[in-house]
A = this chain, B = another copy of it.
């Protein structure tokens, strides 16, 4: 079984450290690897709660945390996301909509739907993101798609701030 965390050591109980919003035994890592230079993002960490390259789980469970004024990469892909917001507030771009997000809101991100998690605030914004273990790589948007999204995000910032 391949894994990048304490599952290899047999750990089954990962107590939560409220003061630091971290799990004992789970090390925060880089959000994206080096192959992802075509993406733009800021202030995001990755906490892998469950990943087994050859184990019995057909899925991965990750927690991503977006620092104040940070954002995840704007991307799309064939695989879907199940997302549960766990900390703070932010905006979620999903296709042609932008939603206000707060702790415990749930999002389904369908195939080939552009998405981005944005933290306009002053506190960390964190979410659980569950994906298939076997999945395609994220792709950036085309220049035309990007222009449409930027316009949408600008107007949502105004309306959500009202």
Looking at the complex, which one of B15, B59, B78 makes contact with A58 (CB distance below 8 Å)?
B59
Stretch in contact with the other chain, from A27-35, A66-74, A126-134, A145-153: A126-134
Residue of B nearest to A13 (CB): B99
Residue A39 lies at the interface, judged by CB distance under 8 Å to chain B:
no
Give the residues in chain B near A97, CB-CB below 8 Å.
12-13
Interface residues on A, range: 35 or more
The distance from the CB of A89 to the nearest CB of chain B, in whole angstroms, is: 12
- Please state if B86 and A104 are interface contacts (CB–CB under 8 Å): yes
CB distance from A109 to the nearest CB of B (A): 7
Across the interface, do B132 and A94 meet the contact criterion of CB distance under 8 Å? no
Q: Mark A1-21, 1 if CB is under 8 A from B, else 0.
A: 000000100011111101000
Pick 23 A–B contacts, CB within 8 A, sort by A.
A7-B108, A11-B108, A12-B95, A12-B107, A13-B97, A13-B99, A14-B105, A14-B108, A16-B103, A16-B104, A18-B104, A23-B104, A49-B106, A50-B82, A55-B80, A56-B79, A56-B132, A57-B80, A57-B82, A58-B58, A61-B82, A61-B130, A84-B128
Question: Which residue numbers of A lie inside 8 Å of B, CB to CB?
Answer: 7, 11-16, 18, 23, 26, 49-50, 55-59, 61, 78-80, 82, 84-86, 92, 94-95, 97, 99, 102-111, 128, 130, 132-134
